[in-house]
């Protein structure tokens, strides 16, 4: 080993074993068949954004095609159920597109005929105010597909005059604290926001060294880089399947500026949520 002037330690060059390394490199060279398989897999894993009416791909990103002032993104079954019950049932929303993707964990379904057990990713705008957008994403977006998803939705040069709200859940055991996670009042909300988001959060901010994961982290990082005001509301819960108490833990968000005015009748929405839970239990019993 040898040290450079910059302080790092590097390997000194040595010819011993180079023949073995060359043979290994020869064995690792990609054959035409390997290349074809890799290209087919890449095409299969491509994220596509489709029009509602024709189910053909959009030529430009969703938010380049439609002006947007407010974008609410629900990721995961409980966050999707919250938006379905409290927001989508309080107004007339029109589907403007859906994401089609495939990976090891999910295959998206057609958004026109869904059961609560199917994975999907749909985009909607409010008919009375088309600049208000909503995304319901119950499917898993793999790490290598997240950048594609962001480009298809936001584009390569997004507008900065919009506000993003992201809702999602993590298991309470992922929450890092000096206390025992068993003593925490699960479920509970934490928030993480970009520097340009100036509104107050409706719950305490997420403390270090906690981090966020997957698509919610990708969206928030994207907004931070592009200086878009964005906030993530993260519900820590001990029940990751569709759960009434977990869904209702998002209720404080209804008082925020992002969702204020979008919900008209909270008691009625609560009843709709309970019916959704009953339907889900019946379907779960059918498939188990």
**Residue 37: DSSP 8-state:** H
Other beta carbons within 10 angstroms of residue 136's beta carbon come to 29
| C-alpha distances in Å from residue 108, one per residue of 32, 119, 128, 219 | 31, 5, 29, 20
For the entire predicted model, the pTM comes to 0.81
| C-alpha distances in Å from residue 92, one per residue of 111, 127, 134, 164, 215 | 17, 6, 12, 20, 27
Domain region containing 195: 37-281
**Cα–Cα distance measured from residue 37 to residue 34, given in angstroms and rounded to the nearest whole number:** 5
In sequence order, which residues have a C-beta less than 8 Å from that of residue 181 and are 6 or more positions away? 172, 173, 175
Domain contains 286: no
Domain contains 50: yes
The secondary structure element, H or E, covering residue 132 is strand 129-137
Domain contains 197: yes
Domain contains 287: no
Query: What is the full DSSP assignment across 185-198?
Result: -SSEEEEEE-TT--
- CATH assignment at residue 76: 3.40.50.10900
**Cα–Cα distance measured from residue 179 to residue 183, given in angstroms and rounded to the nearest whole number:** 7
Q: What is the 3-state secondary structure (H, E, C) of 75-101?
A: ECHHHHHHHHHHCHHHCCEEEEEEEEC
Domain contains 270: yes
Beta carbons of 253 and 78 less than 8 angstroms apart = no
What is the chain's pLDDT, residue by residue, as a tens digit (288 residues)? 444 333 444 455 555 555 666 656 655 677 877 777 777 777 788 888 888 767 788 888 999 999 999 999 999 999 999 998 888 887 889 999 988 888 888 876 555 554 445 668 999 999 999 999 999 999 999 999 999 999 999 988 888 889 999 999 999 999 998 877 677 788 999 999 999 999 999 999 999 999 999 999 999 999 999 999 999 999 999 988 888 899 999 999 999 998 888 887 666 666 766 666 666 555 554 444
Question: How many structural domains does the chain have?
Answer: 1
Domain contains 8: no
Domain contains 263: yes
Domain contains 22: no
**Residue 68: DSSP 8-state:** -
């Amino acid at each position: 080993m040898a040290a450079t002037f910059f302080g790092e330690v590097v390997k000194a060059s040595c010819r011993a074993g180079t023949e073995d390394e060359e043979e290994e490199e020869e064995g690792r060279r990609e054959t035409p068949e390997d290349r074809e398989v890799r290209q087919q897999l890449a095409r299969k894993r491509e994220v596509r954004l489709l029009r509602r009416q024709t189910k053909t791909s959009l030529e430009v990103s969703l938010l380049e095609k439609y002006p947007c002032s407010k974008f609410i993104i629900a990721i995961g079954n409980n966050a999707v159920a919250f938006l379905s019950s409290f927001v989508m049932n309080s107004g007339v929303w029109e589907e403007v597109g859906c994401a089609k993707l495939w990976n090891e964990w999910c295959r998206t379904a057609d958004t026109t005929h869904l059961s609560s057990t199917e994975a999907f990713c749909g985009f909607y705008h409010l008919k009375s105010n088309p600049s208000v957008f909503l995304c319901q994403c119950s499917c898993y977006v793999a790490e290598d597909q997240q950048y594609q998803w962001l480009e298809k939705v936001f584009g390569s040069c997004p507008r900065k005059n919009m506000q993003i709200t992201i809702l999602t859940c993590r298991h309470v055991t992922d929450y890092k604290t000096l206390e025992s996670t068993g003593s925490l009042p699960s479920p509970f909300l934490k928030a993480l926001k970009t520097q340009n988001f100036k509104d107050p959060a409706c719950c305490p901010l997420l403390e270090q060294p906690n981090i966020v994961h997957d698509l919610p982290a990708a969206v928030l990082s994207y907004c931070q880089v592009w200086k878009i005001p964005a906030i993530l509301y993260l519900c820590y819960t001990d029940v990751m399947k569709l759960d009434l108490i977990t869904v209702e833990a998002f209720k404080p968000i209804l008082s925020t500026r992002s969702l204020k005015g979008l919900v008209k009748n909270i008691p009625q929405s609560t009843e709709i949520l309970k019916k959704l839970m009953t339907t889900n239990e019946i379907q779960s019993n059918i498939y188990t």
